[in-house]
Amino acid sequence: MNPFDYERAADAAGAVTTVTDRPDAVFLAGGTNLVDHLKLGVAEPDLVVDINRLELTEVEALDDGGLRIGAMVRNSDAAADPRIRRDYLMLSRALLSGASGQLRNAATMGGNLLQRTRCVYFQDTTTPCNKREPGSGCSAIGGYTRYHAILGASADCVATHPSDMAVALAALDATVVVLGATGERRTPVTELHRLPGDRPEQDTVLEHGELITALESLPRGPAPRRTGRSATAPPTPSLSSPSRPESTSTPQGERRSSVKPRSPSAESHTNPGVHAPPRRCCVARNRPPRRSWQQPTPSSRPPNPSRATASRSR
């Protein structure tokens, strides 16, 4: 890890000014991605501005019935917030489907949007990567591309963004509140991330020194409130695969499939993995909860193939 200066920000405006004035300064929020990149040599800032003490930790109702979520609200706290669980079910599910309990306790809402790709070449400083080192080339093209882009890629980069949460926020028409040296602005989540084009090093439309301070969501109607789940199984390090509608929760709490009934013939021509019931929920619904600690019989179940593999995305 290269040496860097460290400053603890007292307020958001001060943090923005400090980072704006230093070309190689970065903000540090939960650190689950940045600290890893400091270790790997992927990020080499000369100043780290720690924003963990900023008062951006509130989830509050807006006058229009929407919700404002502070950028420093932890992913686990957002997923557990009663209003988000009730009115933005999809956001809660998306947050819970990423990373681990420990990581979600640290990771923030702003940081989740600004986490970087899990492309193995981006994270390996011994290989060329246009996103990490502009002009050095793309090792993924012609290389390992299991988690890479099908749509929106360019000749310079085929990396994807790893956030499940961003997908949910896009579907919810959420807005990102950004503070910069010249004041505050708002941008739809769908316009925050850039396609790689010929400048893959630039993940987002944010200028250097701009800070995400909050997310704002439009008011939600009573129904439908859709949840999404990655269509690929088993869970993989890169959870940026397309999500699909899973179920609709009615105001009365009943559940029904939001996928229209399909004829067997139509079903047989599609990928069963896409239309099958969600893997883990299916298992949970079809058998009584297992409690091995109550019946200490030898289990025939194989050890849990761990869901944690290289650099979990959120």
Partner 1 sequence: MGHSLHLTVDGQEHTLVVDSRTTLLDALRDRLGVMSAKKGCDHGQCGACTVLVDGRRLNSCLALALTHDGAEVTTAGGLAPEGELSTLHRAFLAHDAFQCGYCTPGQVCSAAGMLAEAADNAPSVVTEDLEGPVELSEEEIRERMSGNLCRCGAYVNIVAAVGRAAEESR
Per-residue CA distances from 295 to 51, 288, 299, 302 (Å): 48, 14, 10, 17
Separation CA 35–CA 311 (nearest Å): 12
- The yes or no reply on residue 22 touching partner 1 (CB under 8 A) is no
Neighbours of 272 (CB within 10 A): 8
Per-residue CA distances from 308 to 119, 124, 228, 243 (Å): 16, 19, 20, 20
Residue 129 is given by DSSP the state B
Q: 223, 233, 276, 308: which one contacts partner 1 (CB under 8 A)?
A: 308
Q: 101, 221, 261, 272: which one contacts partner 1 (CB under 8 A)?
A: 101
Select the span of 130-138, 172-180, 192-200, 276-284 touching partner 1 (CB under 8 A).
Answer: 276-284
Q: Smaller CB distance to partner 1: residue 57 or 187?
A: 57
- The yes or no reply on residue 222 touching partner 1 (CB under 8 A) is no
Separation CA 300–CA 82 (nearest Å): 38
- The yes or no reply on residue 106 touching partner 1 (CB under 8 A) is yes
Start-end of H helices in the chain: 12-21, 34-40, 75-80, 82-87, 89-96, 101-106, 109-114, 164-171, 264-268, 272-275, 279-286
Buried b (16+ CB within 10 A) or exposed e, 102-126: ebbebbbbbbbbbbbbbbbbbbeee
Separation CA 130–CA 117 (nearest Å): 12
Least distance between partner 1 and beta carbon 177 (Å): 23
Separation CA 191–CA 113 (nearest Å): 12
Amino acid of residue 258: S
Q: Smaller CB distance to partner 1: residue 264 or 303?
A: 303
Select the span of 139-147, 178-186, 212-220, 284-292 touching partner 1 (CB under 8 A).
Answer: 284-292
Least distance between partner 1 and beta carbon 198 (Å): 31
Q: 61, 62, 65, 86: which one contacts partner 1 (CB under 8 A)?
A: 86
- The yes or no reply on residue 250 touching partner 1 (CB under 8 A) is no
Least distance between partner 1 and beta carbon 82 (Å): 8
- The yes or no reply on residue 248 touching partner 1 (CB under 8 A) is no
- The yes or no reply on residue 201 touching partner 1 (CB under 8 A) is no
Name the site residues for partner 1 (rule: CB under 8 A).
1, 3-6, 8, 28, 31-32, 35-36, 38-39, 48, 50, 52, 76, 79-80, 82, 85-86, 89, 92-93, 96-97, 99-103, 105-106, 253, 280-281, 283-285, 289-294, 296, 299, 301, 303-304, 306-312
